[in-house]
Amino acid sequence: MDIRRAAMLLALPASLLGLPALAVEPPDTGVDAEPPAGTLPPLVVTAPRLARALEEFPAATTVVEEDALQRARQGLQLDEAINRVPGVFTQNRYNFAQNLRISMRGFGARSPFGVRGIRVLVDGIPETLPDGQSQLDMIDLESAERVEIIRGPASVLYGNASGGVVDVHTRDGPPSPYGQIRGTVGGDGFQRLGVQGGGRHENLSYHLSAWDMRYDGYRDHAETEKRLLHGKARYSVDHRRSLTAVISVLDQPLGQDPGALTRGELRDDRRAAAPMAEALDAGQEVEQQRLGLIYTDTDLAGGELRLRTHLTRRDFEQQLPFPGPSRIAFDRAFYGAGAEYSGATRLAGRPVRFLVGAELDRQEDDRQRYTVDVAGTTTGQVQDEMQTALAGGVFAQADVDLTRMLDLTLGVRYDHVRFRIHDRLRADGDDSGTRRYDEVSYLAGLGWQLHPDHRLYLNAATAFETPTFTEFAVQGGGGFNPDIEPQQAVNLELGAKGFLGDNLRYDAAAFLVRTRDEIVNIETDGNAYANAGRTRRYGLELGLDYFLTPDWSLGAAYTWSDFRFRRFEDPATGEELRGQRLPGIPEHVLFAELAYLPPMGYYAVVDALVAGNLYADNANEVRVAGFGVINARAGRRWLPARQGELEVFVALNNLLDRDYIANTRINANPGLAVENRRYFEPAPGRNAFGGIRYTF
């Protein structure tokens, strides 16, 4: 099959090809398996819950595959691979005390740490808590083989989220046993040693990955130590029923936080830590364990049943890089269960594929917060609470083939979210309380197979997003801020997917999002949030993949974003900010990559990321310059032994040694003069790493 024929098959809906109505996950493959030259493997996505071909889902969807995730990667953070996705913007690769920030169509940009407004799943297990927070430090980048990303409202699919979905898949047990050793070293004291392997014995397949990472960091007081164990085992009861167990264990005993710099400090010494970051020994310690179980029956009454349950425990301590109420500790339990059933039927003579399901998750945080003075001495306690969040949802989706060329996707979901705080520190008053929200979300999408190579779609969807416990808290303490409410969004999207000519694949989307009561950050260090009356987002996203030959490819992604306040009075200044750009998001982002990736032998990849300027504050007083960064990586794979494969690789990040900002702390220190506000976390200059991997 040549590339053009494969492209046409990808573009055609399953009903036109005579394929079964329900798509299933592709079979397990060994780590050394390569598709035949000149073919494109079929892309089936499961992040939309109702599995289907990538081209069929009427929303902006991208799949990042194993080569982009693994080939000569340093593996610091997930952004190394997903920067290629249009509509996605990431910050904070280098501060392991604050973790990676991901925004999709501007949702998530407000977060001072971690991820907000985006649903994150790993191997079918939710990483996103019932209150809407997500942390990415438990994702095993060494065994990740596929990431599916949906841009746009995700509430109808997964509940409490406005921005989209990140669905990470790690390796299954391969048909034949294998083992792998990998070592990587690089600038700024980077070193990682990892092992992984797996196999299959009768009805049991398994895969295990473990690694240890040490990193001194580019800046002062940025050292990190991190260890992760990730395993997956699947027992096949018979040809249709299986039980999968997923386990992960994280130990991060050291994650220093260098803090943000003022503009003057940035000019004087980019490598410096904020003065109070070192004085207070700012940073975090984390221990986390997760166990998930997934039961699948692919032929129950003609459909597929999927059940999941999980339990996560997280112990966390953190000192923020400023005095005051800045020492935090919590013990967390996060557990839940879900069930979904998909099948096929006919309605008025037309084929219908459907999905129904329900899920219930609970979060319990035993949380404390303390005040410290400039010497780092604990001077008091301002928070001692048991916080619980319960999120339950029921949902249904249907795909209807209206004609041979036109199909309709409908979705609806009801969510009940309940927050409860039991305040055990009564000296400052009783902050106990409960908040309850009942939300209904909708999706309607039309897909039109305009041509075997081209598919158009139009969708409309609603979404909601509650404040997290961090965002609910009264500034500098706990309890519920009575003045903050969930945000509501309406999204309209028009898109096209397909091929131009024999070898050029494209994905284009234009969207409009209008949001009411958008949750915005009004002070990073003081942990203060408010609702903006109205915001609106216009955007254009374009992704291109050009397959020059089976080994050579060009990739590009461009995003234009015009995100603005429509009505918002700053609570601190009383200033009306209508028309100002939302902070933390550049107007233009361009990614481009040229790759030579043969199955064996030498390979090389050069990529560039260009981002326009963004604003660090709601009032648009502080402009952060844009940047352009070029990276290169190369290596060689060969078979030095009869049953082994050896790979050696080297890479250069920031090839042209540009100065740029890796992370902007939005609305930092608004009460200070502009020159004293700490917005800027600089990225490293030119830096190199290299490694070796042996698979046997």
pLDDT tens per residue, range 228-261 = 999 999 999 999 999 999 999 999 999 999 999 9
Assign residue 584 a region (left: φ > 0; alpha: ψ between -120 and 50; beta: otherwise).
left
Tens digits of residue pLDDT in 531-556? 998 999 999 999 999 999 999 999 99
What CATH number is attached to the domain comprising 227?
2.40.170.20
**Mean pLDDT along residues 664-692:** 95
d(CA 175, CA 27): 10
Among 239, 343, 330, 326, which Cα is nearest to 281's?
A: 326
227-265 burial string, b = 16+ CB within 10 Å, else e? Answer: ebebbbbbebeeeeebebebebbbebebbbbbbbbbbeb
pLDDT confidence of residue 210? 98
- Torsion sign across C-alpha atoms 261, 263, 265, 269: positive
- Burial class of residue 289 in the structure, from the number of CB atoms within 10 Å of its CB (0-12 exposed, 13-18 middle, 19+ buried): middle
Q: Strand, helix or coil at 8?
A: helix
- pLDDT level of residue 5 (50, 70, 90 thresholds): very low
d(CA 93, CA 515): 29
pLDDT confidence of residue 689? 98
- pLDDT level of residue 428 (50, 70, 90 thresholds): confident
Asked if 539 and 517 count as a contact pair (C-beta separation under 8 A), the reply is no
Higher pLDDT among residues 450 and 33, named by residue: 450
- pLDDT level of residue 427 (50, 70, 90 thresholds): confident
Q: Strand, helix or coil at 253?
A: strand
Q: What is the overall mean pLDDT for the chain?
A: 92
Residue 33 pLDDT exceeds 70 = no
pLDDT confidence of residue 16? 30
Q: How many domains does the chain have?
A: 1
* Strand stretches in 23-126, DSSP E: 44-45, 52-53, 60-65, 88-91, 101-104, 115-116, 118-122, 125-126
- pLDDT level of residue 637 (50, 70, 90 thresholds): very high
- pLDDT level of residue 477 (50, 70, 90 thresholds): confident
pLDDT confidence of residue 571? 81
**Mean pLDDT along residues 70-94:** 96
Q: Which of 281-290, 313-322, 582-591, 666-675 has the lowest mean pLDDT?
A: 666-675
Owner of token pair 């700012």: 282
Residue 277 pLDDT exceeds 60 = yes
Residue 433 pLDDT exceeds 50 = yes
pLDDT confidence of residue 641? 73
Residue 331 pLDDT exceeds 80 = yes
**Mean pLDDT along residues 128-153:** 95
pLDDT confidence of residue 78? 95
**Which string of DSSP letters, residue by residue, matches 393-447?**
EEEEEEEEE-SSSEEEEEEEEEEEEEEEEEE---TT----EEEEEEEEEEEEEEE
Domain extent, residue 359, equals: 3-695
Q: Strand 614-615 to strand 601-611: parallel, antiparallel, or no bridges (unpaired)?
A: unpaired
